[in-house]
Amino acid sequence: MSTVTTPKATTRKPPTRFEIRADIPAPGTPEGAYFHYTPAEAAEWLPFSVYKLLKMANARQIPYVDNGKRITFSGMNIRAISEQFTVEPFTKPARAAA
């Protein structure tokens, strides 16, 4: 009598919010526009720490993706956050000719 073994299903755990995966696309590329970045990966592209990004997302101050109570950022979110905190240079108005 032979024993039959069934293959085990491979389960891949989603990355934790502090994990940075290898070979992820840049947010500005077409592949990165809809790619979901962990907060640690998004912090690599933004001038905020992981904790600051999570705090601002929980306070609804920045756009993010909420999939099953797991905060992630799409490439479009990262670009929107970058634009939200971009300060334009001040230009002085031209003097009126007297």
Q: What is the pLDDT of residues 82-95, one digit of tens each?
A: 999 998 888 877 77
**pTM summary value:** 0.74
CB 25 within 8 A of CB 35: yes
Quick check: is 30 in a domain?
A: no
- Domain with 78, as residue range(s), is 36-84
Quick check: is 24 in a domain?
A: no
Q: What is the pLDDT of residues 33-48, one digit of tens each?
A: 999 999 999 999 999 9
**Count of structural domains, the chain:** 1
Quick check: is 73 in a domain?
A: yes
Residue 9: pLDDT band (50, 70, 90) is: low
CA 71 to chain CA centroid, nearest Å = 9
For residue 36, the cross-strand partners are 74
pLDDT number for residue 79: 95
Residue 96: pLDDT band (50, 70, 90) is: low
